[in-house]
Every structure is written in C-alpha cells, then in structure tokens.
Amino acid sequence: MNATTVIIQCEPSQQWELLLEQERGQTLLTYLIARLRQIHGADRIYLFLEDAGRRKALVKEAKRQGVRLLHWAPSAILAWLSLAWRSLRTGAVVRVSESSAFVDPEITNRMIELLESESADCVYAAGFPEGTTPIHVISPKYVARRILRNLNTIAHGPDFISAVRRVVKGGKTAYLRFASLYRTVRIPQSFVVRAPEDLAVLRELFGETLGELRLQDVVNLYGDVERTIRHLADRRGRSMAPYRINAILNRYEAETGRTALQSFPVSVGFNIMPICDVDCKFCSFSPQEMDNRDRVTLEEFKRLDWLKYASEVALWGGVGESLINPEFLAIFNYALDQFPHLKISLSTIGKSLRPEISDQLVGRLSFLNVSLNAARKETHAKIVKAGRFDRVVDNIRYLTDLRKTRSSTLPRVHLSMVVMRENVEELPEFIDLAADLGADQAVVSHYLATTIEGTRKAGEESSLYHHRELADAMLVKAQERAVARGLNVILPPLFSTTDCNVLFGARSEFGPSGDCFLPWSTCHLSVDERGRRQMLFCCSGMYLRTFYDVSQMDEAGFVKLWNGPIPQHFRGTTNSAGNPLCTFCKTEDRFDPTNKKIYDIDQTFGQTLEAMGNQAGQGPLLTLAKRV
C-alpha cells in the first residue's frame, strides 16, 4: 500500500461544527488532523462536505489547516464522482465518521493491515450497529468495481459506505472484530465523541488532560474497573447530561463483563398498548384473544423516572398498536417534555396514524416505521385484515408532506414489508410506492413461520423458503427498482447467495456477528403472545421469563428487574457457548421453517431461566386490571 487518504465525510444531518470546539487553545479539527497524520501514510486528508454552503466556518478553518476540500461540485453526483476519483488514485481510503474525533491510530493501522490481505476489499468493525463504528476503511478496487455502475443510488444514499455496501453484491468485506485488538487497544467505544454534549462530558470525566490523551491512555487511566464504575456512577448523578455518562458507563460495564449493572439501558423499548386494531396474517395471535390485555396509562409511564438515563426510547414493542392507546399523545408529549434529550421512535400499522397525531409527531418524533406489507389494496386486505389500505397510504402521505412543509427531517420514515408468498410479486411496486410516498427507506424481511407460542395464521407454505426462485427473481427486481428510484432499501439476501453470515438469527450479507452487548445496552419492556409482560434484550425468538409489573417500574423496581438473576445469568453467558440462545442467534437461520431448534432451546434453556427466577422469588408479578 503506497498511500492512505483519509476522508472526513461530513453528513448533512450531523453536527460537524463540533470540530471547531476549542480545547486548550486548539480546535478539535486540529487535534483530529494531527491524530490522523499519525496513521501510516495518511498524508492526504480531505473534508468531504455535502453541505459546504452551510458550514462556512468549518470550511474556513479546514482551509487554514491545509485540509483539502471535496464537494465544491454543484451536484451530488459530481461530488461522488470526485470522491470516487480520489479513492481510485490512492491505496486505501479511511472514512472517518462523526464519532471519530478520538479515533485511535492503532485501530486504523489494524484495519489497513486487514485491507492488504487477499480477502479484504473493505473493512468494518464487526458486531456494532452501523453508525457506532469509529472508522471504516475501503480500498479503491472495491470502489472501482462497482461505484460507477451504481452511481445513481450511491449519489442519493445518505451514507457512502452503506450505499456501496448495499448495492455491491458479492464484494468481499473483512470485518475487524474488536476482540482482535485486545492486545493492542482495549475496546474504546465507550469514549467516542458523538455530539457536542459528549465533549462537555469528557471534560467532566477527564478534565484538563483531554487534549493530550489517546483512547488507550484514557482506558489506562481508568483501568481500575471498580474505581472507574464508581467514578462514572458518581459523575452521572451530578452531570448536566446524565444520559451521556450513563451510556459511557453502560459500555464500560459491558466491555468489562459486569453482570450486575450500575448503568441503566441506553435504549429502551416500552410496549404501551398490547392490543391491535388489525389482524395480520403473519402474526400469531388475533384481536379476539386480546381482551384481557392491559394498556399502559400516563400515570404508570410517569413512574419511569429513570428514563433520564436512557438515550432513546421506542414507544412500542412485541405486539400491539401504540397509537390506539387513548393516552398515546399524552405519553409522547410527557416523554418529550420531561426528557427532551430522548430520541423517540414508533412503529405502527398506519391505520391510526391520523393527521392530528402526525401534526404532533412531525419535527419531534425521531423515527417512524410503518408496517405496510403490500403495494396493492387487495393484497393488503388479505394480509392485514381490517387494515384500510387507502387510509394508511393517505396517512403516510399526510405525514411526509407535512414534514416537507415544515422543512423538517423528522421523523425519519421507513416503510416495511414482511415478505411472503402472498405479496412477493408486489415487491417492485412496493419500492415504487415507498418512493412515491417520500419514505426514507424501504425495509423488507422474511415472514417468520415458526413461533414459540401461538399459531401463525399464514402457515409454513407462505414462507418464501418454499418458493426460492420466485423470491430471488423478485428481490433482484426490487433492488433494480430501488436503484432506478434512488431509494434506500434493505432486502434480505438472495437464496442463491451462499456466501452469507448469520446475524441476529437471519442470513445476512453483513456481519459476521461480533460480541453482542445488547443485554447491557438494551431493554424491551415487552408483551408476549399470551399478553404477559416480559422483559427482553432483543428479538431473539424466545422469551426470557423475566416477568414484570408495569406498576412497579419506578427506579427501584426497574433495578430489581434489570439486575435480577435471569438478566445476570444471561449477561454472564451471552458471548459464550453457555448461552444456547445467543449461539442460535449467531449460527442459525430462524426464518427457515424447517429449523425447529428454537423449540428445544425454549424447553431447555428457557426452563433453566424460569427455575432461576422462581428460586429467587421472581415469578410472574402480573397484576392485570382491565381498563377501558
């Protein structure tokens, strides 16, 4: 490798002015550039600004520091061409994300080393959700093969790397597991900067020494686990941004393998309405089975004062339709007023996404998924019984139009489809509909034919695992349509693609799975298919037998649940063979109807967990009282 170009890619929605913050007389941009120049061969550094016109101060400072600017071009396509040209002329391109102000050269070097191996055209850190990895490295040959062919999609995609990854079929990708860095760099994810508040938090934590510290130094400084946890927990209690320190503490506890946590989950899902207003064919229970289910009231929601420590909350989870909770707007408004830092997301079937609700959501809700599942009215009626297709489409259009009128980017809108025999032929039309409705992304996932409880109404025959050629043909068409329409789309891999990993229990072209931290970072206060409230860490396909009572979810009650014997056992075994559910998640395809292993795991591991809960006196705590 002769040279490495580093491109700091500033995406419009991110807060790159952070780089102009002063720290001990120097801007963070100076600090970052100095850091990047330590990287072998990283003598060419570019700032790729998609919205240079709005960032005059940053442009001026970059020029002053001799950083070259990309994107003086008048259009996105020319800008991407310019980026591709720079990539082709160099040995490797390191793409720095916004969270990389403290990126460590050791990581970069290791990634470039991987890039030089035969098998790697593109290196990502494995096992982390997109957007949280500190750095990506790609080689020009990776770009060269595909980029020009797919220029249109890439130009319209919000993220160069993910757009390339999405459109490139068969390109080789190497994944850097953080475990492989253990000898050189301890996992530094806890200490990355993600927003201006982070800088303040880092100042609180590391004070005057900040400007001189490398990530490794920070980790060394806080190498004493007990002391660090005490320090972080103490700081959290006094901080102006407790949720930021909680996120750092949470990551730190995950990395050090703690099972009883001082930190609260960073991401919380809360099912506030386990009753539904439709009857989906791919779902394993029906509205008529739901008459004993209990919604969450505003008063109950107010007990969750510990949400001040969380960073995001999903007002949905498991089963049900949140928008038909008569207090949905009251809960949403309360959450935003009380915890203004929270990113709130919602998934809905769309029938009850009425204009008066959208009026409140636009500009304030962070993310919205509408589970549309069809492109034609007749098909929608068969799959989503009582779904009112026209009304759903009108509702979505109202929301996206309003978003435009208010010049807001919020909420980000995804339209999703559970793809099955009944709707697969509509996939290209579904892409068209999503584009016409102004969605930001279409998301397609397979129908899951197996379930621990309940009976899927559609049956196994509806699974496309029994109609593979047809499915592949339609997936290819959908991909082509998305390219033509410039729409982001997440599609499952073709059945003919054999070079797949398993990620979250599904065939995937991403991955492979790295170490999983969800049992530390994530908590779904969910509802199972029998209407019982259970806490989960992920959509693993099995219930954990961690029952909870909504009326006991104040801080003390939540901590008892969060650090109960089952969660602790689960965390203690997550990344080892001692957890058959996690092993299943990393090796088995649960969407394949012939794969029945989850039943065995539910019987064996599930019952072990249940016994553990019973022994600790933490059996079902439910006190269901029917409310109107």
605 scored as a contact of ligand SF4 (CB under 6 A): no
- Residue closer to ligand SF4, measured from CB, 120 or 538: 538
Structure tokens that stand for 421 in this block: 């025999």
Q: What share of the chain is helix, strand, coil (3-state, %, to 5)?
A: 45, 15, 40
| Direct distance between the N- and C-terminal alpha carbons of the chain, in angstroms, rounded to an integer | 68
- Residue closer to ligand SF4, measured from CB, 48 or 537: 537
519 scored as a contact of ligand SF4 (CB under 6 A): yes
Query: Which one of 142-150, 160-168, 463-471, 535-543 is the stretch in contact with ligand SF4 (CB under 6 A)?
Result: 535-543
581 scored as a contact of ligand SF4 (CB under 6 A): yes
Query: Which one of 178-186, 245-253, 391-399, 511-519 is the stretch in contact with ligand SF4 (CB under 6 A)?
Result: 511-519
Closest separation in Å from C-beta 541 to ligand SF4: 8
- Residue closer to ligand SF4, measured from CB, 465 or 543: 543
Closest separation in Å from C-beta 426 to ligand SF4: 30
Among 553, 574, 580, 601, binds ligand SF4 (CB under 6 A): 574
582 scored as a contact of ligand SF4 (CB under 6 A): yes
- Residue closer to ligand SF4, measured from CB, 187 or 399: 187
Closest separation in Å from C-beta 170 to ligand SF4: 26
Which residues between 441 and 480 bind ligand SF4 (CB under 6 A)? none
Query: Which one of 48-56, 167-175, 424-432, 533-541 is the stretch in contact with ligand SF4 (CB under 6 A)?
Result: 533-541
Among 540, 546, 573, 618, binds ligand SF4 (CB under 6 A): 540
495 scored as a contact of ligand SF4 (CB under 6 A): no
Query: Which one of 95-103, 206-214, 349-357, 582-590 is the stretch in contact with ligand SF4 (CB under 6 A)?
Result: 582-590
- Residue closer to ligand SF4, measured from CB, 410 or 581: 581
- Closest residue by beta carbon to ligand SF4: 585
Closest separation in Å from C-beta 558 to ligand SF4: 19
> Rounded to whole angstroms, how far apart are CA atoms 299 and 308?
17
List Cβ neighbours of 301 (8 Å cut-off, separation of 6 or more). Answer: 270, 272, 331, 334, 335
C-alpha 434: how far from chain center: 21
Query: Which one of 90-98, 124-132, 178-186, 512-520 is the stretch in contact with ligand SF4 (CB under 6 A)?
Result: 512-520
Closest separation in Å from C-beta 545 to ligand SF4: 15
> Rounded to whole angstroms, how far apart are CA atoms 482 and 535?
37
Greatest Cα pair distance in the chain: 70
Closest separation in Å from C-beta 617 to ligand SF4: 25
Structure tokens that stand for 593 in this block: 């109807």
Kindly determine how many residues on this chain lie close enough to bind ligand SF4 according to the rule CB under 6 A.
12
Closest separation in Å from C-beta 521 to ligand SF4: 10
Among 192, 538, 553, 612, binds ligand SF4 (CB under 6 A): 538
- Residue closer to ligand SF4, measured from CB, 196 or 257: 257
- Residue closer to ligand SF4, measured from CB, 187 or 437: 187
Identify the burial level of 34 via C-beta atoms within 10 angstroms of its C-beta, where 0-12 means exposed, 13-18 middle and 19 or more buried. Answer: exposed
> Which long-range CB contacts under 8 A does 138-142 form with residues at least 24 apart?
138/87, 138/92, 138/93, 138/95, 138/164, 139/91, 139/92, 139/93, 139/115, 140/87, 140/88, 140/89, 140/90, 140/91, 140/92, 140/93, 142/168, 142/171, 142/172
What does 373-434 look like in DSSP terms, one character per residue?
--SSHHHHHHHEET--HHHHHHHHHHHHHHHHHTT---SEEEEEEEE-TTTGGGHHHHHHHH
518 scored as a contact of ligand SF4 (CB under 6 A): yes
What does 145-161 look like in DSSP terms, one character per residue?
HHTTTTHHHHHHSS-HH
62 scored as a contact of ligand SF4 (CB under 6 A): no
Q: Alpha helices, DSSP H only, in 549-626? A: 555-562, 565-573, 580-587, 597-615
Cis before residue 512, ω within 30 degrees of 0? Answer: yes
Structure tokens that stand for 530 in this block: 């029998």
Among 31, 80, 309, 537, binds ligand SF4 (CB under 6 A): 537
Collapsing DSSP states into helix, strand and coil, what is residue 214?
A: coil
504 scored as a contact of ligand SF4 (CB under 6 A): yes
387 scored as a contact of ligand SF4 (CB under 6 A): no
Residue 36 CB coordination number (10 Å) = 22
Query: Which one of 162-170, 430-438, 578-586, 605-613 is the stretch in contact with ligand SF4 (CB under 6 A)?
Result: 578-586
585 scored as a contact of ligand SF4 (CB under 6 A): yes
How far apart, in Å, are the Cα atoms of 507 and each of 504, 586, 590?
A: 8, 10, 9
Binding site for ligand SF4 (CB under 6 A): 504, 516, 518-519, 537-538, 540, 574, 581-582, 585-586
